[in-house]
Amino acid sequence: MNRRTFAKTLSLSLAAIGIQRLPLIASTSTSPQFSITMDDFYWTNAVKLTATERNQSILNILKSNSIKAALFVIGSNIDSDEGKQLLWEWDKAGHMIGNHSYSHRNYSAPETVVAKYQQDILRAETLLKEFPRFRKYFRFPMLKEGETAAKRDAMRSFLAQHGYRTGHVTIDDSDWLIDQRLNARVKKDPTADVKPYREFYLEHLWSRAEYYDTLARRVLNRPVKHTILVHFNLLNGLFLNDAIAMLKSKGWQPIDAEDAFTDPVFLAKPNVVPAGESIVWALAKENGALSKDAHYPAEEGAAVSAQMDKLGL
Ligand SMILES: [Zn+2]
């Protein structure tokens, strides 16, 4: 499938799930700014690159682009000397480190006990606070901030009491899903051509970046400083540099994550349930900018999987 056919298929599949390509407005002349915010820090799942190689590759990419990212760390991933050592590399390189809970559970699951969940966040903090670059930003695992107003508000108060801000995402995407396919392929055949995964990733990321940027300008009537969600995985170990280069080639300007988080959009507390997902999406939902039957793009894993099936990925 060539690029044009692919883009058309993607637009059609977005339309099918209630997401229209939104009309651009005049303020698009301001070039969008983006930061890299990377989640999880799973390093024991090394394929093709060792954990150290992947860590070094991602850090080199950020350095060569003069970008300070934010890394939202799952506490259990640094509850060992090796995990801590890998994280020290991020600290020494000056990247921001945030809290992503100890156990990475879904806060919106009905069985979640709020008090236990809060303890899980503090458990991660006990490990993270020895790192000078740790900042009190909490990113909800899977971006799930509570399926009821009571749970949502309980966590908002708890985070405020403990001096935390929410490490919101503006641009969500399914890099994790592409990475799953890439890993499966490389495990099966270590010599497999990985380039088609790169192509797919770049197209996918661009479509999500465009979508959320347009939505943000429509909802806020101004550009936002974007926080793009990506994961610490093989896909980014191999292709994060290409992803950054692609965004730059579209006129997007990289900024540091801590700078991005100064955008007032990150202080918003949208009155919607279920709470969570991209802050831009949540605000659009709150102010009625989305049709009632619109689905959250990143939830459409099935659509992304179908696209990859078609391409034999
Ligand atoms: Zn996560």
Return the number of other C-beta atoms located less than 10 Å from residue 47's C-beta: 17
**Cis status of the peptide bond prior to 23, with omega within 30 of 0:** no
Instruction: Give the per-residue pLDDT at 7.
Output: 44
What's the 76 CA to ligand 1 centre distance in angstroms?
12
Asked if 280 and 270 count as a contact pair (C-beta separation under 8 A), the reply is no
What's the 269 CA to ligand 1 centre distance in angstroms?
21
Tell the burial category of 265 from Cβ atoms under 10 Å away from its Cβ (0-12, 13-18, 19+). Answer: buried
Instruction: Give the per-residue pLDDT at 98.
Output: 99
What's the 305 CA to ligand 1 centre distance in angstroms?
19
pLDDT digits (tens, 9 = 90+) for 251-309: 999 999 999 999 999 999 999 999 999 999 999 999 988 877 777 876 678 899 999 99
The environment of the single-atom ion ligand 1, i.e. residues with CB closer than 5 A, is: 39-40, 141
Which of helix, strand or coil describes residue 295? coil
pLDDT digits (tens, 9 = 90+) for 63-98: 999 999 999 999 999 999 999 999 999 999 999 999
What's the 140 CA to ligand 1 centre distance in angstroms?
7
Helix residue ranges per DSSP H, 129-194:
149-161, 175-188
Dist. CA 72–CA 92, nearest whole Å:
16
What's the 28 CA to ligand 1 centre distance in angstroms?
31
Closest CA to 311 of 207, 212, 185: 185
What's the 267 CA to ligand 1 centre distance in angstroms?
21
Percent of the chain with pLDDT over 90: 85
Dist. CA 261–CA 36, nearest whole Å:
11
What's the 151 CA to ligand 1 centre distance in angstroms?
19
What's the 307 CA to ligand 1 centre distance in angstroms?
23
Q: How far is CA 238 from CA 10, 55, 194, 196, in A?
A: 24, 11, 9, 12
The set of long-range contacts for 290-298, using a CB threshold of 8 Å and a minimum separation of 24, is 290/18, 291/18, 293/18, 294/17, 294/18, 294/19, 295/17, 295/18, 295/19, 296/172, 297/14, 297/17, 297/19, 297/172, 297/208, 297/211, 298/172, 298/173, 298/174, 298/208
What's the 15 CA to ligand 1 centre distance in angstroms?
27
Asked if 238 and 194 count as a contact pair (C-beta separation under 8 A), the reply is yes
What's the 8 CA to ligand 1 centre distance in angstroms?
30
What's the 103 CA to ligand 1 centre distance in angstroms?
10
Asked if residue 17 has pLDDT above 70, the reply is no
When pLDDT is cut at 50, 70 and 90, the band that residue 21 belongs to is: very low
Dist. CA 96–CA 37, nearest whole Å:
9
SS (H, E, C) 210-264: HHHHHHHHHHHCCCCEEEEEEECCHHHHHHHHHHHHHHHHCCCEECCHHHHCCCH
Instruction: Give the per-residue pLDDT at 3.
Output: 47
Q: How far is CA 246 from CA 110, 169, 243, 254, in A?
A: 40, 20, 5, 11
Q: How far is CA 244 from CA 32, 55, 64, 196, 223, in A?
A: 13, 17, 11, 17, 19
What's the 279 CA to ligand 1 centre distance in angstroms?
16
What's the 40 CA to ligand 1 centre distance in angstroms?
5
